[in-house]
């Protein structure tokens, strides 16, 4: 597996990471703990060194299975987790007060069965807590040896800049893919200027870019996509044009649509590390194989020119969830 460095931080990870959320949370096709551990260890055996989880996934149980699965490999893998979202009366609420952060880090260290967290993200920007207070807490946690690096998830450029001024940010994690390109407008140029790495989640469009979701797909209520506008029937039908483009390029490159989608991300910047998730060994191998798919500048230009003619239908989040992002 090829390696990449997240910005100027010195943190080196595999070019393709593993997003662990879907193993037991947010989607209907989850797998049990034994299968999850087996899959995560298979990823390590294949060269994946970057694993992403969060305390709210499960909640809490995702960190536990990641910790158990990766314990034998702890010195050779990078574990990222997140704080800042908790449950109150069964609902998710944001809380990044320094005291809450300290409670969260201790809980995550215990569940992950580790002495230090490699990369600790604020899961969503908390408008009730100045980002300088959050960054200052991260600075203290780094000096105390509880975390090595820190990052922000779904934060806007002004927040990133303010945070970075207090304690250098290693990475920003946000959605980015062929069908969600908003980070290109302001965020990616900002990260390049500051020397911060970028970690795209949902790099395969929550499964859509694998070309396995038909225009007639239905999602169980336990599946997050059941409330996502982009996965409503009319939007799925309208967005098939994007899949036709992927199929065409994939056939030319003797690859799969998913591999082209990931290779396109890798081709944008050398400090971008996508974290696709999966519950299947065959998909894991497919995702890893994307690191060996070469897209030349002319290929990327042709794909981008074709993308400019395709209007993607449907928002990526329901309105309430979108309000939490990009602050």
Instruction: State the catalytic residues.
Output: 57
**What does residue 10 show for φ and ψ, rounded to 5 degrees?**
85, 0
Q: Retrieve residue 310's tokens.
A: 């395709």
Q: Retrieve residue 217's tokens.
A: 């797909």
Find, among 239, 279, 286, the residue nearest to 258 by Cα: 286
* Contact (Cβ atoms closer than 8 angstroms) between residue 275 and residue 17: yes
CA atoms of 17 and 151, how far apart (whole Å): 16
Find, among 272, 274, 260, 240, the residue nearest to 302 by Cα: 260
In sign, the C-alpha dihedral spanning 46, 78, 208, 310 is negative
Q: Retrieve residue 241's tokens.
A: 């044009």
DSSP annotation of 200: E
Cβ-count burial of 104 within 10 angstroms (0-12 exposed, 13-18 middle, 19+ buried)? buried
Other CB atoms closer than 10 Å to residue 108's CB: what's the count? 24
Q: Count CA atoms within 13 Å of residue 77 on its CB side.
A: 27
Find how far residue 251's CA is from the centre of its chain: 27
């Amino acid at each position: 597996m090829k390696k990449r460095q997240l910005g100027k931080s010195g943190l080196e990870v595999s070019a393709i990471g593993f997003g662990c959320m879907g193993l037991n949370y947010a989607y209907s096709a989850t797998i049990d703990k034994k299968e999850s551990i087996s899959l995560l260890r298979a990823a390590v055996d294949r060269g994946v060194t970057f694993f992403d989880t969060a305390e709210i996934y499960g909640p809490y149980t995702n960190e536990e299975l990641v910790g158990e699965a990766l314990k034998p490999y702890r010195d050779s893998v990078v574990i990222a987790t997140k704080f800042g979202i908790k449950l109150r009366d069964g609902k998710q609420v944001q809380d990044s007060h320094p005291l809450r952060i300290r409670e969260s880090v201790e809980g995550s260290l215990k569940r992950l069965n580790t002495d230090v967290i490699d990369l600790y993200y604020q899961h969503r920007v908390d408008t009730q807590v100045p980002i300088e207070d959050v960054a200052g807490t991260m600075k203290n946690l780094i000096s105390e040896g509880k975390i090595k690096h820190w990052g922000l998830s779904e934060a806007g450029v002004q927040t990133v800049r303010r945070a970075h001024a207090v304690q250098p940010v290693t990475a920003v994690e946000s959605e980015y893919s062929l069908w969600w390109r908003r980070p290109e407008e302001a965020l990616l140029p900002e990260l390049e200027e500051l020397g911060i790495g970028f970690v795209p989640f949902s790099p395969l469009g929550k499964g859509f870019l694998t070309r396995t979701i038909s225009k007639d797909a239905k999602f169980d209520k336990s599946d997050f996509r059941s409330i996502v506008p982009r996965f409503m029937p009319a939007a799925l039908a309208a967005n098939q044009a994007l899949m036709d483009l992927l199929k065409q390029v994939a056939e030319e490159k003797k690859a799969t649509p998913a591999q082209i989608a990931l290779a396109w991300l890798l081709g944008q910047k050398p400090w971008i590390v996508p974290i696709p998730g999966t519950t299947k060994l065959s998909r894991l191998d497919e995702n890893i194989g994307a690191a060996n798919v070469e897209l030349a500048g002319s290929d990327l230009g042709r794909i981008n020119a074709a993308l400019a003619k395709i209007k993607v239908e449907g928002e990526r989040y329901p309105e309430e969830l979108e309000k939490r992002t990009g602050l």
